[in-house]
Chain A
């Protein structure tokens, strides 16, 4: 399982890192894309731009396998580990602060259903034929 998060988003929910550090799901990799700003609301600075260190916070919360990603090669190396290897991992990467280039289709039940079909957990019916 790979969870994709932003720095502003994880700052709002730091408690979940403590829960993950406690439960230690072996198959979880968290990828934090850290642009240091709240891009979508007007580029206001986040605490990650100056003082908050997501990797240090994650390690302190009990996710020992937490790393800053140096470059694309380093990311490939870290993300291709065995998913069930050694407990949860957190990979944080400083990214550019350009706005997103595409918009997700805003249809929550469709998003959920497609996600569940991908996992094989969705309801099946004649409509799926």
Chain B
């Protein structure tokens, strides 16, 4: 079973049915896997803060959801987190593929990636970096349960150690 299958299975086990996303190369197995499975309601958003806002509305309507994006897209959601998710105590589940490290070719991705963990730490949003398939099921399952129990968001950062990184990157590195 791949990391993507494991993540989707854990979402199902926790009744997380809504998947909002902005397309990303690394997360393609997750996005395609969710779209191909009738269990999930899959919605492509135009921006990452729209994907997060949709989760907030769904949660208030009784539907659990996850938003998927890449690192540079995460840089768009600071305001949605700080003015909506955190103060309104919305248990948003957010999956971010980690660009900008371990073989990145795009200097913009490198710089924006450095803002991700400090941003989350500054607003006290829990985040876990997923690096291997052995520890991933426990981290994801327990963290989703903790998020809904404590009305708090959680961010999963998918490391290239887990995903293999951007498949298009290798050819662009010198």
Tell me, yes or no, whether A19 is within 8 Å of chain B by CB: yes
Q: Which of A48-56, A75-83, A115-123 contacts B (4 or more CB under 8 A)?
A: A115-123
Verify B89–A109 contact, CB threshold 8 A: yes
Verify B46–A16 contact, CB threshold 8 A: yes
Verify A121–B89 contact, CB threshold 8 A: no
- Specify which chain A residues have a CB less than 8 angstroms from the CB of B50 in the assembled complex: 13, 15-16, 19
Tell me, yes or no, whether B43 is within 8 Å of chain A by CB: yes
Chain A residues 1-60 with CB under 8 Å of chain B are 13, 15-16, 18-19, 22-23
From DSSP, what is the main secondary structure of chain B's interface residues?
A: loop
Of all chain B residues, the one with the shortest Cβ separation from A113 is B89
Tell me, yes or no, whether B173 is within 8 Å of chain A by CB: no
- Specify which chain A residues have a CB less than 8 angstroms from the CB of B49 in the assembled complex: 13
Tell me, yes or no, whether B61 is within 8 Å of chain A by CB: yes
Tell me, yes or no, whether B127 is within 8 Å of chain A by CB: no
How distant is the Cα of A19 from the Cα of B49 in the complex, in angstroms? 13
Of all chain B residues, the one with the shortest Cβ separation from A17 is B46
Tell me, yes or no, whether B62 is within 8 Å of chain A by CB: yes
- Specify which chain A residues have a CB less than 8 angstroms from the CB of B53 in the assembled complex: 16
Tell me, yes or no, whether B44 is within 8 Å of chain A by CB: yes
How distant is the Cα of A111 from the Cα of B89 in the complex, in angstroms? 11
Tell me, yes or no, whether A99 is within 8 Å of chain B by CB: no
Q: In the complex, how many residues of chain A place their beta carbon closer than 8 angstroms to a beta carbon of chain B?
A: 16
A54 to chain B, nearest CB (A): 17
Verify A19–B89 contact, CB threshold 8 A: no
- Specify which chain B residues have a CB less than 8 angstroms from the CB of A116 in the assembled complex: 60
Of B43, B47, B87, which one neighbours A23 at CB under 8 angstroms? B43
How distant is the Cα of A91 from the Cα of B90 in the complex, in angstroms? 29
- Specify which chain B residues have a CB less than 8 angstroms from the CB of A19 in the assembled complex: 43-46, 50
- Specify which chain B residues have a CB less than 8 angstroms from the CB of A115 in the assembled complex: 60
Chain B residues 21-61 with CB under 8 Å of chain A are 43-47, 49-50, 53, 60-61
Contact with B along A89-129 (1 / 0, CB 8 A): 00000000000000000001101100110011100000000
A15 to chain B, nearest CB (A): 3
Of A23, A109, A111, A119, which one neighbours B61 at CB under 8 angstroms? A119
Task: Identify 8 residue pairs between A and B in the complex whose beta-carbon atoms are under 8 Å apart, listed by A's number.
Answer: A15-B47, A15-B50, A19-B43, A108-B88, A111-B88, A112-B60, A112-B88, A119-B62
